[in-house]
Amino acid sequence: MKVYQTKEIRNIAIIGGNRVGKTTVAETMAFHGGLISRRGTVEDKNTISDYREIELERQQSIQATVLYTEFEGTKFNLIDCPGFDDFIGETVGALRVMDSALMVINAQNGVDVGAEIQWRWAKKMNVPILFAINQLDHEKSNFDETLRQLKHYFGSNVMPLQYPVNAGTGFDSVIDLLQMKLLKFPTNGGKPIVEDIPAGEKDKAEEMHNALIEAAAENDETLMDKFFEEGTLNEEEMVKGLKLGIANRGTFPVICIAAKNDQGITRMMEILKGNCPAPDEVPGLMTKSGKEVACKSSDPAIAFVFKTAMEQHLGEVSFLKVCAGEITETLDLFNPNTNTKERISQLLCIAGKNRDKVEKVVAGDIVAIIKLKGTQSGQTLVKTGDEMIVPTEYPEPKFRTAVRAKNSSDDEKLGAILNEIRKTDLTFLMEQSKELKQTIISGQGEQHLNLIKWTIEKVNKIEVEYYAPKIPYRETITKSAEAMYRHKKQSGGSGQFGEVHMLIEAYSEGMPAQTKYPIRGTETFDLPWGGKLIYNNCIVGGAIDARFMPAILKGIMEKMEEGPLTGSYARDIVVNIYDGKMHPVDSNELAFKLAGRQAFREAFKNAGPKILEPIYDVEVFVPSDRMGDVMTDLQGRRGMVMGMESEGEFQIIRAKVPLAEMNKYSTTLSSVTSGRASYGMRFAEYQQVPTDVQTEIIKKYEEENKEDE
């Protein structure tokens, strides 16, 4: 495979909703580039993009597939992205490194929820977008309505470069507003026959052509001056203006295709080649030091690993974008994230099961590398220096569940598998929770985690089950209380004796110290699970020897790690040890540890104990006509709406909602809004639970557990 220079490369993410034809578009582009000799179909399960077992089974894209094709001296690096929101992380990772995006829209259904969600991510990441209205050959296709929706949802800068003459059954012709010609597609697809515009279409074509000229001129002052002087631009000048508009997200062109019948794809590829920005015509990725990496082949090599995948017969494959410089086989690069060296053994251009070796890649290109020793997604490889590219910011998890192996002997193996999955899916999180005594996994939705389960069971051959995750409650107190406990045990030989008197108080920042018992020493502990413990020594007259104070503290800590109410961590408590008794023979550290533990337990239960629950900031992006239903549902989840704002046809609802009420929220939200809403959530704080809820939580805990006496 030849070495393509930066100007000869186009990096394009193929995005859009579910089942709009993205994989078929990618397949047809690969066919016209000569990568494959025969086009496959999703139905026949033989496309180069959807080749994984789960994708063949479900007939939909699950992972973002990196592929390439060559067309008229240009290399197209493509990433075919899944359309379902549960796999949005795959799209986010692709948008981070691609220089533009082709959003495929189904002409039958218009703008769907997938398009809305992916548009927002592309906007956030400042990625240029072109639209391809697909399936114009379907009897229910409606170009005019689809174009109206595109302008309605995404703005007046959506500009058609083509429009169909006969959309629907028998579709075979479009008016190309750049060439001002009619393009007639052969029955079997392929390159169109170019004809003059029919008389009946000339007025409409001229009107749309002039609007396109004006839109192109607005992107460049020189072109605008010429437009004012002459009232028009030639095709070359239009392309120049459009290319500038696309690169700065000032223009969003619309192309007409019927990918399944290979109609319009070659012209689309010509438009993409001529109008999409090359890698050095868009802003470079930023480093942690705030430096933009200029896409220059003459600079020292810098590459960003944006995806890790497990490929059959290859093992772990790292996909990277060359941000600057050149990379060759046998080159030694340095990973500043891990302070390790990596030798490049092979450079591969991968398209599904197709692989081509390449000896060198230059700035702007996408390449795959195998056998990296310790470099993961989100990390940087450099020739010199220690600059690190800022890792991709993925959406926070929305759906959590507990998981365990059906056979407990597989637990250790399950943990290893989950860690491996994390390497290839950065929106998947796994935690071995000591607090909850559960393995908690989190992802983007129920379907996302069901896919994880499928992988574990089908690929790794371990049967697992999902079950309700516990909530990481916290326990604290609301008032002061005193208690004492005497631990006395005699069973032949030396016994155990320790007596502890304590006063506990609710801690708050800046609170005054109690004055009832003189404080002779204070220790402050920032607890690993949040909050504080203040430990005051108020002993006078040697009632308890100083050497036993650490043992008492240890007993208190043990009980704080397994709180008296629900076994949850306790926090924000001041403990004052003010009296006690010792025995000259039987007192020891164990006795005082147990006495301290039990005295704390008794005092805690008399100090107005309260359960705290984790509260999350939830941001729901919802269509305006469904806002009432979403608000009602949030309030039913004990949510407190903090504010709202409009964004186009959508409303953003910001609320604080207890984590305990968010179980399977993504499934409910999808049902309430017909899949059109999305949301994110992030931990905010701990708050006291209402009294009735606390009573229910304690009752449930007591039924499930017996308190240690």
SS3 label, residue 704: helix
Question: Can you give the pLDDT at residue 708?
Answer: 43
Q: Are 6-197+251-281 and 399-470 equal in CATH topology?
A: no
Instruction: Show the CA angle centred on residue 506, arms to residues 501 and 511, nearest 5°.
Output: 110
CA distance 179 to 343: 49
CB 136 within 8 A of CB 143: yes
Q: Is pLDDT at 376 greater than 90 in this prediction?
A: yes
Q: Is pLDDT at 576 greater than 50 in this prediction?
A: yes
Cα dihedral 314→320→322→328 (10° resolution): -20
Q: Where are the domains of the chain?
A: 6-197+251-281, 302-382, 399-470, 475-608, 611-694
The structure tokens listed for 556 are: 């208190």
CA distance 175 to 201: 8
The structure tokens listed for 70 are: 């060559």
Highest mean pLDDT among 180-189, 220-229, 647-656: 180-189
Instruction: Show the CA angle centred on residue 38, arms to residues 315 and 351, nearest 5°.
Output: 25
CA distances to 456, 521, 702 from 419, in Å: 12, 45, 34
* pTM (predicted TM-score): 0.87
Give tens-digit pLDDT for 413-442.
999 999 999 999 999 999 999 889 999 999
pLDDT mean over 391-402: 93
Q: Is pLDDT at 705 greater than 80 in this prediction?
A: no
CB environment 40-56: b (16+ within 10 A), e (fewer): bebeeeebbbbbbeebe
Rounded to 10°, the helix 627-636/665-672 angle is: 150
CA distances to 556, 593, 600, 622, 663 from 552, in Å: 6, 5, 10, 54, 39
φ/ψ of 509, rounded to 5, equals -60, 130
Query: Minimal CA–CA distance to 611: which of 532, 508, 694, 703?
Result: 694
Give tens-digit pLDDT for 438-474.
999 999 989 999 999 999 999 999 999 999 999 999 9
- At 189, the pLDDT band (50, 70, 90 cuts) reads confident
CA distance 452 to 158: 38
CA distances to 175, 493, 531 from 528, in Å: 66, 40, 8
Residues sharing a CB contact under 8 Å with residue 261, sequence separation 6 or more, in sequence order: 137, 185, 189
Q: Is pLDDT at 562 greater than 80 in this prediction?
A: yes
Cα dihedral 239→244→249→252 (10° resolution): 0
CA distance 39 to 445: 33
Domain 399-470 in CATH 3.30.70.870? The answer is: yes
CB-side neighbour CA atoms (13 Å) of 127 = 29
CA distance 39 to 32: 9
Q: Is pLDDT at 93 greater than 90 in this prediction?
A: yes
Quickly name the fold that domain 302-382 has: Elongation Factor Tu (Ef-tu); domain 3 (2.40.30)
Q: Is pLDDT at 492 greater than 90 in this prediction?
A: no
Q: Give residue 547's identity as a one-letter amino acid code.
A: R
Second CATH level (architecture) for the domain 611-694:
2-Layer Sandwich (3.30)
CA distance 654 to 644: 6
More confident site: 233 or 648: 233
Q: Is pLDDT at 579 greater than 60 in this prediction?
A: yes
- At 707, the pLDDT band (50, 70, 90 cuts) reads very low
Q: Is pLDDT at 709 greater than 50 in this prediction?
A: no
CA distance 568 to 559: 10
Sequence length of the chain is: 709
CA distance 577 to 561: 19
Give tens-digit pLDDT for 510-549.
999 999 999 999 999 999 999 999 999 999 989 999 999 9
Least confident of 89-103, 297-311, 491-505: 491-505
- Report the DSSP pairing between strands 74-80 and 9-16: parallel
**Residue 417 CA to its chain's centroid (Å):** 20
Question: Can you give the pLDDT at residue 275?
Answer: 95
CA distances to 86, 426, 452, 497, 527 from 458, in Å: 20, 21, 10, 58, 41
Instruction: Show the CA angle centred on residue 308, arms to residues 307 and 312, nearest 5°.
Output: 130
Over its C-alpha atoms, the chain yields an Rg (Å, rounded) of 32
pLDDT mean over 361-375: 93
Q: Is pLDDT at 601 greater than 90 in this prediction?
A: yes
pLDDT mean over 604-618: 96
Give tens-digit pLDDT for 204-247.
999 999 999 999 998 888 888 888 888 888 888 888 999 999 99
> Mean pLDDT, the chain, as a whole number?
93
Second CATH level (architecture) for the domain 6-197+251-281:
3-Layer(aba) Sandwich (3.40)
The structure tokens listed for 316 are: 């772990």
CA distance 345 to 340: 16
CA distance 366 to 357: 13
- At 89, the pLDDT band (50, 70, 90 cuts) reads very high
Question: Can you give the pLDDT at residue 106?
Answer: 96
The structure tokens listed for 590 are: 């164990």
φ/ψ of 345, rounded to 5, equals -90, -45
φ/ψ of 466, rounded to 5, equals -95, 145
First CA to last CA distance, the chain: 74
pLDDT mean over 301-306: 97
SS3 label, residue 487: strand
The structure tokens listed for 46 are: 């033989």
Second CATH level (architecture) for the domain 475-608:
2-Layer Sandwich (3.30)
- At 706, the pLDDT band (50, 70, 90 cuts) reads low
What is the maximal distance between C-alpha atoms in the chain? 114
Q: Is pLDDT at 281 greater than 80 in this prediction?
A: yes
The structure tokens listed for 691 are: 């009294």
